[in-house]
Amino acid sequence: MSSPLLNELIDALRCLPGVGAKTAQRMAFHVLERDRAGAKKLSDRLAAAVERIGNCTRCRTFSEDAICSTCASPQRDPSLLCVVETPVDQLAVEQATGYRGRYFVLLGRLSPLDGMGPKELGIDLLAARLAENEVRELIIATNPTVEGEATAHLLSQIARAAGVRATRLAHGVPLGGELEFIDRGTLAHAFGGRQLIEN
């Protein structure tokens, strides 16, 4: 190709997940041939987002302000703090439950092999938050993976040190599932965590 700028654009598009050489090429030709206005808008929004979206200083989720709207909201119960791995997990909890407390986003999980340790997860920030004595319950909503469990252990130790009650999301049989097809680990957890039927 004779245009170095075009080649650079194709290369740059490949930073997106799931976009390989061919897709990047198709995207670049599409915007140049058919949708220059759309491309201008995309480049403006992308530049603005990268420039202005940072992390909330309280909960570490994405935010344009120093303190995100969830942390700033007076409607939220400050005595409940839900710890999630990523902003996407926060969104999932927010959409699925009627949770009205606050969040803390780790932006990862404890995984030595990926270079994620307590420092990278902002554990010191969380410990400082618990030391403010406002939080009564720490809801640990890390994923039920090996790394998520290790992270949950670390979080429960911090909660204990601060004298805060720590709870963990239940593991169990998915709604509409069938026992026959559930893996052993999940079924064992569901069985171990069975609950009394209140009459």
Partner 1 sequence: MRIEQQPAFVLHARAYRETSLLLECLTRDHGRVGLIARGVRRERTRTPRALLQPLIPVRVGWNGRGELATLTQVEAAASGFDLDGDALLCALYLNELVLRITPRQDPHPQLFADYAETLARLAYGEAQAWTLRRFERDLLAHLGYALVLDVDGDAGAPLDPERDYAYRHEHGPAPWRDARDGVRLRGAALLALARDEMPAAEHLSSLRRLMRAVIATHIDGELRSWSMLA
- Give the binding range for partner 1 (CB under 8 A) out of 30-38, 54-62, 128-136, 177-185: 177-185
From residue 59 to residue 78, the character string flagging contacts with partner 1 as x (rule: CB under 8 A) and all else as - is --------------------
From residue 144 to residue 163, the character string flagging contacts with partner 1 as x (rule: CB under 8 A) and all else as - is -xxx-xx--x----------
Please give the Cα distance from 51 to 40 (Å, whole number): 16
Q: What angle do CA 55, 60, 61 make, to 5 degrees?
A: 75
The answer to whether 117 contacts partner 1 (rule: CB under 8 A) is: yes
Dig out the tokens for 80 from the structure.
């409940």
Closest distance to partner 1 from the beta carbon of 82 (Å): 21
How many residues line the site for partner 1 (CB under 8 A)?
21
Cβ closest to partner 1, residue 52 vs residue 160: 160
Q: What backbone phi and psi angles, to 5 degrees, belong to 126?
A: -65, -45
Please give the Cα distance from 81 to 162 (Å, whole number): 13
Cβ atoms 81, 135 nearer than 8 A: yes
The answer to whether 115 contacts partner 1 (rule: CB under 8 A) is: yes
The answer to whether 35 contacts partner 1 (rule: CB under 8 A) is: no
- Give the binding range for partner 1 (CB under 8 A) out of 29-37, 66-74, 85-93, 105-113: 105-113
